[in-house]
Chain A
Amino acid sequence: MTEIDKNLKYRLTENVVSREIEGEIIIVPLTAGIGDAEDDLFSLNETGKAVWGYLDGTHSVQEIIDLLEKKYDSEASGITDDVTGFLNELLSRQIIEAV
C-alpha cells in the first residue's frame, strides 16, 4: 500500500463520474471509455461522503484530517488511519490523483 503524503492535495481523476442519487454518492470509474455500472459501481457511507467533499484539490490530507477531527470530536490517530486508508483505496482504483 502506498504511503499517503499528508501534505498532498487530491482531486478526482478525469475518468471518474460521481453523482449524488437519493442521498448516496455513486461513483463510476471509466475504464477504457466504459462506465461499468454492472461490476464497478461504488457508493460511500456518511463519513466517506464527508471526506469525498474535500477531494477537490484544495485541501491537503492533513487539513482534511484536522477538519474531521473537529467535526467528529474523535482521536487524531483513528481519523488519520481512516482517511489515509480511504485515500489509498481510492488511489488504488484510480479514482483520485494528487494535484
Chain B
Amino acid sequence: MEVIPESAELSLSGENLLKLMKDVHLKGGSLRFTAKGYSMTPSIRHNDVITVSPLPDRDLIRGDIVLFRKEKNSQIVVHRIIEKRSSNYLMRGDNSDESDGWVTGNMIYGVVTGIERNGRTKFCAGMVDNFFIHAILLKFYPFIMNLRRKAVKIIKLFRNKKDLNGN
C-alpha cells in the first residue's frame, strides 16, 4: 500500500487563516492555531497557541480579545477592545502605545477563548467576562499581535501522479 505520511510545510497567511476560521465558525466550531508576533505580550506571547471562537451571543465588551480586520490597512490581527461606543470598537495591542483606531462590529470575526503556553492553558472562555482582570491587564500591558504566516503539516495520503504513471 502506498499511503505515505509525510511532513511538509505550507504557509497560511492571515487572510487564508481567516477564511478557514470562518468555515469552522459556520459549523459552530472554534479554531486553534499558533499566534505569531509580540504585540500582545505578555497576554499572548509569540508562539502561544490560541483558540478563536465564533462571536458570543452577548455584547462584546472592553477587555475582550478579538480577531478583526484593521480599517486602515485591512490587516487581520488579534487585539484587545479598549473602548466601545455603540457598535464601534477601539482596539489596541497590549504591547503597543498606540491604538489601532476604531473598527465597526462587522469587522470583528471571532473572540479569543483560549491561550496555551508551553502546553498549559493560561486563559479560557470564562475569563472573557472578567472585566476586573482585563482592566489590570490594560493598565499595565498594552498590546497587538499579527497573524502573519502559519506553517501547517502536509500529509501525503496518496502517491503522486508521477508514481501512478509508473515513471
Which residues of A does B touch, CB under 8 Å? 14-15, 17, 19, 21-22, 24, 26, 28, 30, 33-38, 41-48, 51, 68, 72-75, 78-79, 81-82, 84-86, 88-90
Contacts and interface: CB of A to CB of B under 8 A. Distances in A.
Contacts of B155: 42-43
Interface residues of B, number: 36
B96 to A, nearest CB: 25
A82 B164 contact: yes
B30 A37 contact: no
Interface of B: 1-3, 10, 12, 16-17, 19-21, 23-24, 27-34, 49, 51, 150, 152-161, 164-166
B139 to A, nearest CB: 31
Contact of A24 (B24, B27, B154): B154
A17 B164 contact: no
A51 B30 contact: no
B154 A17 contact: no
Given A38-B33, A82-B164, A89 B23 contact: no
Nearest to B114: A34
A46 B157 CA distance: 10
B2 A37 contact: no
Given A17-B24, A22-B16, A45 B31 contact: no
